[in-house]
Every structure is written in C-alpha cells, then in structure tokens.
Structure 1
Amino acid sequence: MTDPIVRALTGDAAQQTVSLAREYRAAPAEVWHAITTPERIARILGALTGPVPTAPGDVFHIDIGGERVRRAELMKCAAPYELAYTWWSGDDDPGSVRIRLTPTGDGTRVTITHDRLRPHWTGGYGAGWEASLAALAEVLGSPAAIAPAADWSLLQERPLELTLRMEAPRDRVWDAWTTSSGLATWWWSHWTGVEIIADVRVGGAYRFAAPAQGMAVAGEYLVVDPLERLAFTWVWSDDDGVSVDEAVEVMFAEDAGGTALTVRHTGPWPSDEPVESYRQGWEFVLGALRSAVG
C-alpha cells in the first residue's frame, strides 16, 4: 500500500514540530471550503463551539471529542492558501498550527505544521493530524486507502545530532546552504556530474543527485528563517530503495566571529545502524562545507 502522507519531525528534546503533507484531487477553493466551514470542520477536526472566527485575534474553541475542548486563536486567514492559529493543548504555552494549500497539476497539496509541541504531545498530535487528513479525503469525496498511522515515538527515539564550529561568519555559511551555487561548492563536490536544485523558500523543493553513483536526496523546505534555521523533509533514494518520514533541521549560531552549526536528522529508525550510516555521511559533507567556506 502506498502511504499518501509525507511526515516530518523536527525540533529538539524540549519543543518539537510535526509536519504532514498529502495531495487531494480537488481545487484549492474546494479544500479551503472544507477546512473553514463549521459543518465540514466537524467531520475533519472537531465541532466548532461558539462564534466562528473571522479575523486575526478572534478566539474559538474546538470540541475534539472525549470531553476535550481546545482553545485556539486565529492568526492568519489568507483564502484560499493559508490558515494559521494558535492552539492550546493543555500546557502553559500554546502551539502554532499552519495549514498551507498549494495548487498541483490536478489538485491541491495540503501541508500541516504544528509546532512548539512538548514531546509528550508529539505522538498524539501526529496521529491526530493523520486522521484529520484521512477525514478530509472523505469530506472531499475522494477517500483513498489509509495506511497505518506512523509510529511517532519511533521518530523521536534516535535523533542524529551533530554540532561543529566553523571560522566562517554566519552569513557565508547560510549562503552555502541556501543557494544552488553555494551548495555546489561542497555537497558531494568530490564527484563529477552532481545536480543541485534548491528553491529555498517555505514549500520550495530541493534535489541533490549524483547520477553516476545512483543516489539522490530530495524534499521540501519546511522552515526558512534567515541566518537562524532551515528545516526540510528528506527523501533518500538509491539502489536499495527510498526512505520515508525523515527530516533535517539545521541551526546557525554566531560563535566568536565564526559559526556554530547544528544538524539534527530524524527518521523511523528501528536500530542504530542507519543512524551511524547517516552520521558518517554527514561528517563527510560537513567537513567539505567547512573547507569550502573557509
């Protein structure tokens, strides 16, 4: 069964972000109507109680079942492409939910990002959003086979994290990560014929391919916070197959005139073997980055 959902887990041991994406054979306007009309919301997320929010700052409540009512506050409503609101899960600080609708050739790609989650909420909300995306397919009249929900606790279990310091200033390191020309100076630069494509914006795609070696990595940018943070999905492909539900986050910090770079990679890894394999790969390319930026 082909899993219709692309998942990503980013963040750290204190706060985490779940991201999910799925495509639907419906126009953005139809999908927007489904996620903003109270009677249809009830089938996707939960019953809207009280007044319907119409402007940023409006507070509303969702009854998600089991005697659980969640408070939310509208942050952005840009029909028919983006919806954002804060979401109180029971902790002191609210999380933030952003829903982006992107037109595709024959439909709409829906991307949901729920950030500032305490780790103990991650698994529940990951599974909950998967159920909401499946319910949205039903509401749109195009139900598809539903793959088993991901094991979000497994995504949390073995994060790979590497930190290294570079003498280069932060803006130079950032440019090396966020331009195709900059990436070409270090990413698999020891091989010839490497193809680098990077549309560095939220929702933009990237692809780094080494055809002669039969490998590539591709994905979508989830966060682009200039000079501070990049996050993106990670789909590795080679002769052994294609990876699923992996993500990478890169943090850039000033450090005594240089840059402290932290890379965090997560995936549904059942053992330490893929973690160590990725560690070797990251150490190699990050060494090439340090050499390239000086």
Structure 2
Amino acid sequence: MNAEDPFVRALTGDDEEQTVTLVRHYRAPLAAVWSALTTPSRIARWYGTITGPEPRAVGDRFAVDIGGGMVRQAQIAACDAPTALSYTWWSGDHDPGLVQLRLEQVGDAETRLSVQHDRLRPHRTVQYGAGWEKNLVALADVVGAPVGESEGAAVGARRWEMLRERPLQVALSIEAPVARVWAAWSTGEALAGWWWNHWDDVTIDADVRPGGGYRIVAERHGIAVSGEYLVVDPEHRIAFTWIWTDDDGASSDEAVDVTFRERAGVTDVVVRHTGPWDSDAPADSYRQGWEFVLAELSRKVV
C-alpha cells in the first residue's frame, strides 16, 4: 500500500467462478467505518441508495440503486457487528454473488477493511474489481483519508485485466488420501515438513484460518513469502494472498488458490497463481517453484 495505490488486491477462483478481494486502511475508528457500511444515509454517499424498506436483520432483502438506471437486489446473509457483514448480491447472472466485509481495529484510530466478492463469473471480475475500488475511494471521503493517502486514488480496470490475463496453473496427482494431503497444509509445523525443506534455515509461521496470516522465510537465501488466508475449506480448498520478497523488493496483488479432489485414494492438487504480470516470465519462474514444492509435498505424504 502506498500513496499512489493504497489497495491490496487478490483474484482467486477458477475458470467458472472467481473472487475479487480488496484490502485497505482508513484513518478512522472501527465504529465510524462500520456506521458508513451499514447506515443507509451514509451508504448513499459511497455505494448506492437503498430503496424500499431498510434491512435490519439477517435474511432481510433489500434493493440498491447504484446509478445509471441499475437497481440490484441483495439479502443479508450474516452479521457480526461491528466486525463482519455479508450479503448476497444479484449482479445479473443466474446465481447471486456473496459479498463479505471484515473490519479490524488497528491502533487507536485506524481501521483495516477487507472486501471479498465471491461467486463472480470470470467476465465480471474486471467490472467488479474496478467498481469496488471506485466505491472504496468514495468511502474514504465519508470516513477519512486512507492511511498514507491525502486524496483518493484507484488504479482501476487495467490492473484487474492484468490479474485475469496470465493465470498460472500447476497440477499434480498424489497417491494419498485427501485427508493426509490437506493435513500437510493445515499448520505451520506441517508446512515445514515439505516447503523449502532442502534448506536448513527456513522458518514458517502460519495461522491457517480466514483472515490469519503466514510467513515463510529463508533468511540466508534472502527470500520470503507471506500473506493472508482468504479461504480455508478443509480438504477442499485453500486460498491466500502472496507477497514474494527478495533483494529486488516485494511483489504486489498476487494470490494463490489451491484445490484438492480425491478419486479412489488419489488426490488431485491444482494450484492457480495470479498476479499483475505483463509478460509470461513471472509465471514461468513460479511454475518451476511450484513444481518443486509440490513434488516435495508428494514425497512427504506418500
């Protein structure tokens, strides 16, 4: 996050359904941000105008006029005030998407907001990624400027197009039940058994839950990877942001989505890695790395 681009972005999912995730900080207490996310008069200043009855409880349906003659239908799916809210959102496709908002107080007067929009058809990811950026810039005017930013800024659609253009996919079939393969991803101690295990200086910390973080460091080799878990669905799927750090700096807006599927005692593992790459070189480099660690994973669990 910086003054020019305060967002952290992630694109996860597969060729049928995808998720856009954005994270940014606001120089405002959590209660103020929550109010702006849930009070109709304040929602109208950054998102859209709620028409009809005001939603008040889980299960309530409501409509939002987002301008340009477009009115969208929504329904509150869950609410844990003042830190989490989710609602379904009909975007025009047959099935509704799911929007999940998570808030975290950082210090005395700073709030971290995560927006995760699931179940999007791939042709809608650019539209919704750029749309959420625009909305969250407008939210800054309601609650206060984002940390490190005096005026709102959004990179917009081109960034999401880049995230969608060159996904890397690596697959491996492992002759082991899915429970055993999943267990190797489920804790930092388990990851240490196979991730970069050809080096003896690797340290791994992992809090494997949605919103939890991980950090893997090979200090003598000058490399590290870290991020936040976005999805943790035991024995089925795990998704996380990915920040690669080396002497050249740190990557941005990268994400990894891993799926697990068992068939007759064999587990198919598929890794999908996305990033804002303007050439095939980053994906080619990552492919070698993923093939190596997946081979080590296979040796560990077989």
Shorter-chain TM-score bucket reads over 0.9
Counterpart selection for 2:155 from 144, 148, 151: 148
1:94-121 deviation per Cα after TM superposition (whole angstroms, max 9, x unaligned): 1010101122234221100101111111
Pick aligned residue for 2:40 from 20, 30, 38: 38
Question: 1:102 and 2:110 equivalent?
Answer: no
Task: Give the CA deviation at 1:2.
Answer: 4.5
Q: 1-side partners of 2:22 and 2:265: how far apart?
A: 37
Q: Distance in 1 between matches of 2:14 and 2:275?
A: 13
Say whether residues 1:79 and 2:74 are aligned partners: no
Using the TM superposition, give the Cα deviation of residue 25 of structure 1 relative to its aligned residue in structure 2, in angstroms.
Answer: 2.2
Q: CA RMSD in A?
A: 1.2
TM-score normalised per structure 1: 0.97
Which residue is 1:119 aligned to?
Answer: 122
Distance 1:101 1:197 in 2: 23
Tell me the equivalent position of 1:235: 243
Q: Corresponding residue for 1:269? A: 277
* Matched residue type, 1:58: D
Unpaired runs of at least 5, structure 2: none
* Structure 1 residue 4 displacement after superposition: 1.3
Maintained 8 Å contact 2:215/2:227: yes
- How high is the sequence identity, in percent, across the aligned residues? 60
Which one of the candidate residues 178, 182, 195 is aligned to 1:174?
A: 182
Distance in 1 (alpha carbons) for counterparts of 2:137 and 2:293: 38
Unpaired segments ≥5 residues, structure 1: none
Partner of residue 61, structure 2: 59
Residue-pair matches, total: 294
Q: Secondary structure at the match of 2:45?
A: helix
**Which of 133, 139, 144 is equivalent to 1:130?**
133
Matches within 5 A, 1:15-30: 15-30=17-32
Q: How many angstroms apart in 2 are the aligned matches of 1:45 and 1:125?
A: 13
Cα offset, 1:5, TM superposition: 0.8
TM-score, normalisation: structure 2: 0.95
Separation in structure 1 between the aligned mates of residue 217 and residue 76 of structure 2, nearest angstrom: 41
SS in 2 for 1:270: coil
The Cα shift of 1:138 comes to 1.0
User: Which whole-Å CA distance do the structure 1 matches of 2:154 and 2:90 have between them?
Assistant: 28
CA distance in 2, matches of 1:249, 1:118: 16
Could you tell which deviates more after superposition, 199-208 or 251-260? 251-260
CA distance in 1, matches of 2:154, 2:56: 35
For residue 194 of structure 2, what is the aligned residue in structure 1?
186
| Residue 151 of structure 1: how far off its partner (Å) | 1.9
